[in-house]
């Protein structure tokens, strides 16, 4: 899953990948003012952290229904010597991570050497560029904006970041420059959430299904016009209607002969793929087996939300529970993120908690962390625990954005290769700061070559 290319991955029910626009230009041309204008002056969530140069701040933006991420490079501290070089280098980093670039120049002072240095970087990057000639507060300055044609980047958009003049046309041009708009599936109305109850034979899947569904078999999805042996059933659990995947397979209780284990496994895999959340039923009265772990791994690899139901709790005594805890610590650390319920389908103990666990796992699965919040978090983490220096270089996380929900998938843009350990460390911190209990999360790293 983590190997997947995000650009190619737009799963059903997931969010869209938001393109990134980097705003570059020399100091004082009005980049920050323009960014505020673009994001509608929404309060900056990112605070300054003492001791850390926050040289890139990113925000969520929306124009004409299209969402994108704006990276403000306005905070770069210019240095008296080698300023041009430094700015060009910083711009290069932001540009490398962007899908399109907004180059801001100051129309009232004309083209400067530093502007040309940034243009050279832009040329090499081959990224689409929109040129904003800023500080065109009135018609009189418009002629000066035209002189920006000389940068060789095409039509300059005369804008006034301060008053908003011309920014609509500029934003239209930015949207045009961005990669093809993916269809906005995230906000689309959707049916009931799909739940799969999976587990090896005899753990209590059909007993749990019966307890959850009760006498509700009439609530079937009879789109086919028949209520006989529906493949999936609509069932109300804790006040919410869910679509239970492959209930026919569970209800028919085909006790597969050993030779059919392969087919049982395929069926399980199929149910997991079709579901958004899986309840993996484990018989708590027996040692956790390889087969249990294989099913858990399938769920994790499919990126589904997960609730582990430790069933047959009524058959466990203190000694068994002691060993179960050891087994969980030994074999299930990897699934520490899952929700879990200790229950009994026979006595009904804690069956109602399954509904609560499903709901919160789904909420975690669908979490959207705003780019501002995410970067405030990354700023804190990086400040407290910088990446170790590697062959004299300090790899850095430039900024991050959540590319998808269901499961939450984050992209970190970095300079230099980030150690996998460090990525795992950031992932743990993410889990601590935002509540993802019940959902896997993915972290992708895009390093600048």
Q: Which is nearer to ligand GDP, 23 or 338 (CB)?
A: 23
Question: Rounded to whole angstroms, what are the CA distances from 40 to 25, 33, 408?
Answer: 20, 11, 26
For 201, other C-beta atoms within 10 Å of its C-beta total 13
Contact 51, 100 (CB under 8 A): no
Residues 394-423 touching ligand GDP, rule: CB under 6 A, are none
Please select the residue that binds ligand GDP; options are 14, 19, 30, 438, rule is CB under 6 A: 30
Q: What is the dihedral of CA 7, 11, 15, 20, to 10 degrees?
A: 0
- Residue 268 within binding range of ligand GDP, rule CB under 6 A: no
- Residue 291 within binding range of ligand GDP, rule CB under 6 A: no
- Residue 384 within binding range of ligand GDP, rule CB under 6 A: no
- For tokens 């978090």, name the residue: 377
Q: Which is nearer to ligand GDP, 178 or 208 (CB)?
A: 208
- Is there a binding annotation on residue 202? yes
Peptide bond into 407 cis (omega under 30): yes
- Residue 74 within binding range of ligand GDP, rule CB under 6 A: yes
- Residue 345 within binding range of ligand GDP, rule CB under 6 A: yes
Please select the residue that binds ligand GDP; options are 14, 199, 372, 440, rule is CB under 6 A: 199
Coil, strand or helix: which one is 442?
Answer: strand
- Residue 379 within binding range of ligand GDP, rule CB under 6 A: no
Contact 38, 70 (CB under 8 A): yes
State the nearest-atom distance from the C-beta of 344 to ligand GDP, in Å. 4
Q: What would the x/- binding string for ligand GDP be over residues 201 to 220, using CB under 6 A?
A: xxxxxxx-------------
- Residue 114 within binding range of ligand GDP, rule CB under 6 A: no
- Residue 116 within binding range of ligand GDP, rule CB under 6 A: no
- Residue 316 within binding range of ligand GDP, rule CB under 6 A: no
Beta strands in 144-283 (DSSP E): 156-158, 193-198, 233-237, 240-245, 277-283
- Residue 32 within binding range of ligand GDP, rule CB under 6 A: yes
- Is there a binding annotation on residue 94? no
Please select the residue that binds ligand GDP; options are 116, 236, 314, 331, rule is CB under 6 A: 314
- Residue 137 within binding range of ligand GDP, rule CB under 6 A: yes
Q: Tell me the number of residues near ligand GDP by CB under 6 A.
A: 32
**CB proximity list for 221: less than 8 A, separation 6 or greater:** 230, 232, 233, 234, 243
Residues 8-27 touching ligand GDP, rule: CB under 6 A, are 25, 27
- Is there a binding annotation on residue 42? no
Contact 361, 306 (CB under 8 A): yes
Please select the residue that binds ligand GDP; options are 135, 193, 194, 340, rule is CB under 6 A: 135
Q: How far apart are CA 291 and CA 260, in angstroms?
A: 14
Among candidate residues 30, 31, 34, the one with its CA nearest the CA of residue 167: 34
DSSP-H helix ranges across 63-159:
83-97, 113-125, 142-146
Question: Rounded to whole angstroms, what are the CA distances from 97 to 234, 387, 397, 404?
Answer: 44, 19, 11, 17
b/e code 106-121 from CB counts within 10 Å (16+ = b): bbeeeeeebbebbbeb
- Is there a binding annotation on residue 313? yes
- Is there a binding annotation on residue 372? no
Please select the residue that binds ligand GDP; options are 85, 143, 146, 315, rule is CB under 6 A: 315
Q: Tell me which residues touch ligand GDP (CB under 6 A).
A: 25, 27-33, 74, 134-135, 137, 160-162, 199, 201-207, 250, 253, 311-312, 314-315, 344-346
Which residues make up each annotated binding site?
Answer: 25-32, 72-76, 134-137, 199-206, 246-250, 311-314
């Amino acid at each position: 899953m983590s190997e997947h290319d995000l650009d190619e991955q737009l799963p059903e029910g997931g969010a869209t990948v938001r393109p990134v626009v980097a705003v570059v230009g020399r100091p004082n041309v009005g980049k920050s003012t323009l960014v505020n204008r673009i994001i509608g002056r929404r309060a900056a969530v990112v605070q300054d952290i003492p001791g850390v140069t926050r040289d890139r701040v990113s925000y969520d933006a929306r124009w004409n229904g299209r969402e994108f991420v704006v990276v403000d490079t306005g905070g770069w501290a210019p240095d008296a010597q080698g300023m041009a070089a430094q700015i060009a280098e910083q711009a290069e980093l932001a540009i490398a991570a962007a899908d399109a670039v907004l180059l801001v120049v100051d129309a009232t002072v004309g083209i400067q050497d530093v502007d040309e240095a940034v243009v050279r970087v832009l040329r090499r990057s081959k990224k689409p560029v929109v040129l904003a000639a800023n500080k065109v507060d009135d018609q009189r300055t418009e002629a000066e904006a035209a002189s920006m044609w000389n940068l060789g980047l095409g039509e300059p958009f005369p804008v006034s970041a301060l008053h908003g003049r011309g920014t609509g046309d500029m934003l239209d041009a930015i949207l045009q420059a961005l990669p093809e708009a993916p269809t906005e599936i995230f906000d689309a109305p959707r049916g009931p959430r799909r739940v799969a109850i999976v587990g090896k034979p005899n753990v209590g899947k059909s007993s749990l299904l019966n307890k959850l569904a009760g006498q509700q078999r009439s609530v079937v999805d009879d789109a086919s016009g028949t209520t006989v042996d529906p493949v999936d059933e609509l069932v109300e659990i804790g006040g919410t209607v869910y679509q239970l995947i492959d209930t026919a397979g569970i209800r028919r209780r085909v006790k597969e002969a050993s030779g059919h284990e392969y087919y049982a496994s395929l069926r399980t895999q199929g149910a997991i793929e079709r579901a958004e959340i899986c309840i993996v039923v484990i018989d708590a009265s027996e040692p956790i087996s390889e087969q249990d772990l294989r099913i858990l791994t399938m769920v994790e690899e499919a990126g589904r939300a997960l609730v582990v139901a430790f069933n047959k709790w009524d058959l466990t005594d203190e000694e068994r529970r002691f060993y179960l805890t050891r087994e969980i610590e030994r074999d299930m650390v990897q699934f520490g993120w899952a929700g879990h319920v200790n229950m009994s389908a026979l006595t009904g103990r804690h069956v109602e908690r399954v509904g609560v666990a499903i709901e919160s796992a789904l909420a975690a699965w669908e979490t959207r962390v705003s780019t501002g919040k995410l970067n405030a978090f990354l700023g804190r983490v990086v400040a407290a625990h910088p990446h170790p220096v590697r062959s004299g270089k300090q790899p850095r996380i430039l900024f991050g954005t959540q590319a998808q929900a269901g499961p939450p998938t984050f992209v970190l843009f970095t300079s230099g290769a980030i150690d996998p350990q460090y990525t795992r460390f950031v992932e743990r911190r993410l889990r601590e700061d935002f509540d993802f209990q019940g959902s896997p999360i993915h972290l992708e790293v895009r390093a600048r070559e």
